[in-house]
Structures are given as structure tokens and as C-alpha cells.
Amino acid sequence: MSLRRDRLQIVNDILLSIQEKGGKIKPTHLLYKSNLAHNKMKLYLNELIEKDLIKEVDESGNKYYCLTENGIKFINEFKKIREFVDSFGL
Amino acid sequence: MGISLVFSPIWFFGYDSVLDLISFVITMLIGFYSYKIYKLTGKKNYFYLYLAFLLLSIALVVKSFANLSLYFDLLHRIGVRDTRLFGYQMAALALFGHVLLTLLGYITLIALTLKLKGKRIVSLLFFLVILTVLLAKNSFMFFHLISFALVLLYVTPYFYENYMNVKNVKALLVFLCFLFLSFSHLFLALVFYNNYLYVIGIILQMAGYLMLLINLLLVFKK
């Protein structure tokens, strides 16, 4: 895959950031880890919530983003695709 | 083409078709997975990979049925079976289709690996290759020799470089696949000298596609 991050790569990076934090992350941490501008990340997060890849939860007044089952499936599927694509060098 | 179309030793009749059918299934699997990636990412590269493997898979199934029909025809003539499927001319037409589809598949792969831009260049390449094969005195030998050269010189080095870059088993399997495929064509080109080379060629081809199957299984194992 190309070095420039495409949409799928960005989505995967966001989901991986959440997974690395044990499946739950604060918005500020996510913004820092995903390396995206605030408004752009907001758009991605809305789309991921809409597609049931992540969900927004409120715990003791703190907002978190959590990975859903579909989000985990996406990460696994993306990993397979990446391995296949890398083996062909495309 | 006007020459003998049966290259296999009698004891290998039918086995080659079975091996071709297995290779057909493998190339189909690779093709459809590439298509799935294309649909997901929208990247043209994966569409061309899908196209190349689709062409190779159709070429394999066409050859498999052509060979089966030839063997039944031959067995009919020597009185072993009284079943006649298509006959010699039908098989010759199918084998011609196999040649066209295989070369189209390889040229699609070359366009992909050499990053050739422009359909006109790719179509010119295809017509030149097809003309060379058709105008040759022994078309089948030339088809295999040209396929050997195309795969060995233009496709395999790309996958070798990729293996050297990523240094993992899956990339090695893809590189070995095309190396085996290229040499399978060399053995098949020399089949007019000894028909046992046909067996080696078909087994090498099968081994090549098995590498791709192992690659796919490794990807899906996790």
C-alpha cells in the first residue's frame, strides 16, 4: 500500500489507536494518536459511529470512544488485506 | 496451427486436466480476493490483478476441457472408449483460446508490475506478442517460449524485488509461484522433444499455483 494514508488506512489507524488503549479511548488521546486535524477527525468519527465500527460512551462525565464487534472485525479484515497486498507488492 | 495437440504421455491423460482444474480454482480464488480488495479500496491496481487472474483462470479451464475432449477423441479413435465429446477442431479452437487468454493475463500482469500507463501501449504489446505466436511455424512452442520469457524477465523480477524489500514468507511464495510458472512454460515448450517434459511442466505449473494457495491460506489463517 502507498505511504500516503488513504481513507481505509486512516479508518484502520483510528480503530487501532482505540484497540491499543484496550478498546476505549478519550477523544483528546485519539486526536493526538490519529494525527488528524480536529474537524477531519470529527467527520471520520461520525462516519465510524454511523457504520457501527465504534460507539460513544459516557463514563462519570467523561466521553470515550469504544471499539464495537464490527470495528474488531474491520481491523482483522484489514490486516488480511494488507498481508495479501504486501505479498504482491502492490 | 496444424500440428499435434496431444503432448501428454498416455498414462498422464486426464491427470493434467485435473491439475489444470485445481490451478483454475486457485487462480479464481486469488482473482476474487483481489476483486474484493478493489471494491473495498477502489484502487485500480487490484482490479488489474483480478483481471489478470481471471484471464489466467479462464485460460486454464478452457485448456483443461480442450485436453479432456482431445483425450476422449483419441481414445475413441483407438477404440478404448466410444464416447466422442468435441473432436479435434473444437479442441484446437479451445487451445487457441487458452493461448490468447494466457498471454492477455500475463500482459495484464506485466502492465501492472512495470506500471505501464495507457491502454494503447498495452494493446500494442499484446498484438505484437500474439502476432509473433501466430506467425511462428510451431505456435505452441513459441507460445510457451514467449510466456517463459515474459514471466521470467518481466513479472518474476518484480516479485523478487518485493520479496527482498519485505522479506516475508508470503512474498517469497508469490515470487516462487511466478518463477515456477515461467519454468513450467520452458518445459512445455520443449515437449516436442520428449513428452515427459510435459508432465514436468504441468507439475511445475501446479506447484506454482499451490504457492499462491498457501499464501492465501496463510493470510486467512489468523
The ipTM assigned to this model is 0.82
Distance from CA of B52 to the nearest CA of A (A): 13
CA dist B25 and B100 (Å) reads 19
Chain A, window 5-34: residues with a beta carbon less than 8 angstroms from a chain B beta carbon: 6, 8
- Choose among B204, B23, B36, B27: nearest CA to B109: B27
Contacts of B221 in chain A (CB under 8 A): none
Distance CA B111, CA B152 (A): 14
Distance from CA of A66 to the nearest CA of B (A): 23
Full-model pTM: 0.85
- Grid cell in block for residue B111: 502492465
Contact of B220 with chain A, judged by CB distance below 8 Å, is answered with yes
A68 confidence band (pLDDT: 50, 70, 90): very high
Check residue B31 and give its pLDDT: 97
What would the mean pLDDT of A14-37 be, rounded to a whole number? 90
Q: How large is the average pLDDT for residues A34-45?
A: 88
Lowest mean pLDDT among A34-38, B27-31, B121-125, B149-153: A34-38
pLDDT at A71: 95
Residue B30: exposed, middle, or buried by beta-carbon count in 10 A (0-12, 13-18, 19+)?
A: buried
At B3, the pLDDT band (50, 70, 90 cuts) reads: low
Residue A5, pLDDT > 70, answer no
pLDDT tens-place string over residues B38-77: 998 888 999 999 999 999 999 999 999 888 877 776 666 6
Average pLDDT value for residue range B6-33:
90
* Beta-carbon-side half-sphere exposure of residue A44 (alpha carbons within 13 Å): 22
Residues A83, B219 contacting (CB under 8 angstroms): yes
Of A8, A79, A87, the CB nearest to B215: A87
Order across the sheet with A24-25: list the strands.
A24-25, A62-67, A54-59
CA A30 from chain centre, in angstroms, equals 9
- The half-sphere exposure of A69 on its side-chain side, counting CA atoms within 13 A, is 0
Amino acid making up residue B41: T
∠ CA B106-B144-B63, rounded to 5° = 75
